[in-house]
Amino acid sequence: MIKRVDLDDEELRVLREITAPAPRRPVVLLVDDDRALLARTRRLIERANLRCLTASSGAVALRRIRRDEAAIDLLVSGLALESGGPGLAFIRELNRAGTFLPIIVLSARINLGDELSETPLNVLGFLPKPFDPASFLHTLSHSL
């Protein structure tokens, strides 16, 4: 037989806290053809208590997004992807496919901001390569 116990408000709050499922950590998909940059940036993202998936090509990233877009919260993409799929074309392909993930762009091209501002893309932020880790994390936190 189960005995009924009356709990006060504080006890109820504590019980809810300890029995609630842990919040899901946001997932970042990081895309760049520079494997060393992928590794360094992945460590930075994971130290910020975020989950990170990586893709070294636009094709791999597209497969991951198509497989489970709902599980990805933010796309961080380098624009100098492999010659078969330049980054800006990759982002446009995402939009054509009906994928409107928020995007942060990493690029060594200095004048890219103007090009992106004239394109109706879902780019939330732009950071030049190499980027400052603190600025990168700040941009990430404001984009999630």
Residue 102 half-sphere exposure, CB side, CA atoms within 13 Å? 15
The parent domain of residue 51 ranges over 25-143
- Residue 5 falls within a domain, yes or no? no
Whether the Cβ atoms of residue 121 and residue 103 lie closer than 8 Å to each other: yes
C-alpha angle 27-80-70 in degrees, rounded to nearest 5: 20
Residue 51 included in any domain: yes
Give me the pLDDT at residue 18, please. Answer: 81
* Residue 9 counted as domain residue: no
Bridge partners of 30? 54, 76
Is the distance from CB of 76 to CB of 107 less than 8 angstroms?
A: no
Q: Counting runs of H as helices and runs of E as strands, what totals does the chain give?
A: 6, 5
Q: Residue 86: pLDDT above 70?
A: no
Check pLDDT > 70 for residue 111: no
pTM for the structure as a whole? 0.78
CATH of the domain at 137: 3.40.50.2300
CA distance 54 to 49: 16
**How many C-beta atoms lie closer than 10 Å to residue 72's C-beta?**
20
Res 125: pLDDT? 81
Whether 49 is in a domain gets the answer: yes
Residue 12 lies in a domain: no
Element (H, E) at 114: helix 112-117
20 assigned to some structural domain = no
In a domain, 42, yes or no: yes
Distance of alpha carbon 100 from alpha carbon 103, whole angstroms = 9
pLDDT at 84: 42
Question: Mean of the per-residue pLDDT values for the chain?
Answer: 83
Instruction: Domain count for the chain, please give it.
Output: 1
Per the domain annotation, does 3 fall within a domain?
no
* pLDDT per position as a tens digit, 23-80: 889 999 999 988 999 999 999 999 999 999 999 988 899 899 999 899 999 999 986 6
